[in-house]
């Protein structure tokens, strides 16, 4: 038995009322039926867009499909909530998906999606930095001794310190 999927016009008509619940229902239906996304992806996007719509309502922002509303939300998360660059990138990704939904329903211009820019996430941002210089000096001084194994360990640590390590 085949299930009849709602058409694009049916999905968009669910969101004609600008209330948060209707927008969320329409957006979820769009992700399930139009995009065929997994439940985990939908859950993550719905959580973030629910927070976005709640923030818009609390700040009396009527047009949720505006670059101003999105930028203010991202600024709030960056400055007040101290979101990381990677988290802000994910939020921007969710907002773009929501704005694409709005564009498919005629609620906003499709070019507005391209206006949302995420923060730059540097490729080596997750790589840990080296130890503090005081820790390196302490390690070298503790490893130096009179035994042959201590002399080798001290020499290797000095070589790594000079040629191979990043020290803050």
Residues 95 and 138 in one domain: no
The answer to whether position 128 is within a domain reads: no
The answer to whether position 151 is within a domain reads: yes
CATH of the domain at 86: 1.10.150
The answer to whether position 126 is within a domain reads: no
- Please write the tens of the pLDDT for every residue from 5-42: 444 444 454 444 457 889 999 999 999 999 999 999 99
Concatenating the DSSP letter of every residue in the chain gives -PPPPPPHHHHHHTTSS-SHHHHHHHHHHIIIIII---HHHHHHHHHHHHHHHHHHHHTT---SSSHHHHHHHHHHHHHTS---HHHHHHHHHHHHHHHHHHHHTTSS-TTHHHH--PPP--TTTTSPP---HHHHHHHHHHH--SSHHHHHHHHHHHHIIIII----
- Please write the tens of the pLDDT for every residue from 74-125: 999 999 999 999 999 999 999 999 999 999 999 889 898 888 888 888 887 7
Number of domains in the chain: 2
The answer to whether position 122 is within a domain reads: no
- At 133, the pLDDT band (50, 70, 90 cuts) reads confident
Residues 40 and 96 in one domain: yes
Residues 97 and 141 in one domain: no
Residues 100 and 42 in one domain: yes
- Please write the tens of the pLDDT for every residue from 40-51: 999 999 999 999
pTM of the predicted protein model: 0.66
The answer to whether position 144 is within a domain reads: yes
The answer to whether position 55 is within a domain reads: yes
* pLDDT at 3 > cutoff 80: no
- For the segment 127-135, the average pLDDT, to the nearest whole number, is 77
The answer to whether position 124 is within a domain reads: no
Domain that holds residue 151: 133-164
Residues 107 and 36 in one domain: yes
Task: Quote the pLDDT of residue 163.
Answer: 79
Task: Quote the pLDDT of residue 114.
Answer: 87
Residues 30 and 105 in one domain: yes
């Amino acid at each position: 038995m085949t299930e009849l999927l709602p058409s694009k016009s049916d999905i968009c008509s669910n969101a004609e009322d600008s209330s948060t619940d209707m927008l969320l229902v329409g957006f979820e239906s769009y992700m399930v039926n139009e995009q065929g996304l997994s439940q985990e992806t939908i859950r993550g996007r719905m959580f973030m867009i629910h927070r976005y719509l709640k923030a818009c309502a609390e700040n009396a922002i009527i047009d949720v499909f505006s670059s101003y509303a999105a930028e203010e939300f991202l600024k709030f998360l960056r400055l007040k909530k101290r979101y990381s660059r990677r988290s802000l990138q994910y939020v921007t990704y969710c907002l773009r998906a929501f704005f694409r939904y709005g564009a498919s329903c005629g609620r906003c211009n499709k070019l507005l999606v391209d206006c949302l820019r995420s923060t730059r996430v540097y490729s080596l941002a997750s790589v840990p930095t080296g130890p503090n210089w005081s820790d390196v000096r302490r390690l070298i001084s503790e490893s130096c001794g009179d035994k042959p194994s201590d002399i080798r360990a001290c020499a290797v640590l000095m070589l790594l310190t000079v040629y191979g390590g990043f020290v803050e």
